[in-house]
Amino acid sequence: MARLSDLIEAFIKQLIEDMDGTIEIQRNELANYFKCVPSQINYVIDTRFTTERGYYVESRRGGGGYIKIQKVNVSPNTNYLMHIVNSIGDRLSQQAAEAFINNFIDYEVVSSREGKILRAATSDKALSMVPAPDRDVLRATLLKNMLTILLV
């Protein structure tokens, strides 16, 4: 018998397919449907609908906890970005982020203007309020999410 997490994942994937790649679900309603706690829904979304797996997730607290999930459409032009998203890892230095962004501009994956925005958002200056040990983790997460939204 399939685990509850597998059933929830399959259900959400079917919804995404039926709705042409984007759904908005309410955490509590889905938990009631599967007779589980809302944290089980969070677990499935956090582990199975990740940037690395080609999904962009927006979560809104309050009002029952709506979650919007978009499947990234991968085409030959976006394969490069998805490869980069998957290879970034959990930590990324400012220098490594700048190298990635420079390559994106050189290969015309992003415009010069988009590159400036990516650089600004991932700079040590922008992340100065975050303790130094955590900056590289936040920078990796930010860059992955920004690249993923370019694919949506």
Domains for the chain: give ranges and CATH numbers: 4-71 (3.30.56.130), 76-151 (1.10.1200.150)
pLDDT score, position 77: 57
Q: Going residue by residue through the chain (152 aa), what tens digit of pLDDT does each one get?
A: 469 999 999 999 999 999 988 999 998 899 999 999 988 998 999 889 887 777 888 887 766 668 999 887 655 556 777 778 878 889 999 999 998 898 888 878 889 999 999 999 999 999 999 998 899 999 999 999 898 887 76
Predicted confidence at residue 81, as pLDDT, reads 75
CA atoms of 101 and 98, how far apart (whole Å): 5
Closest CA to 140 of 50, 61, 70, 65: 50
Q: Give the pLDDT score at 152.
A: 67
Residue 1 has a pLDDT of 47
Model pLDDT, residue 72 = 75
What is the Cα 67 distance to its own chain's centre? 13
Cα atoms found within 13 Å of the Cα of residue 66, Cβ hemisphere only:
5
H helices, E strands: number in the chain: 7, 3
- The residue type found at 3 is R
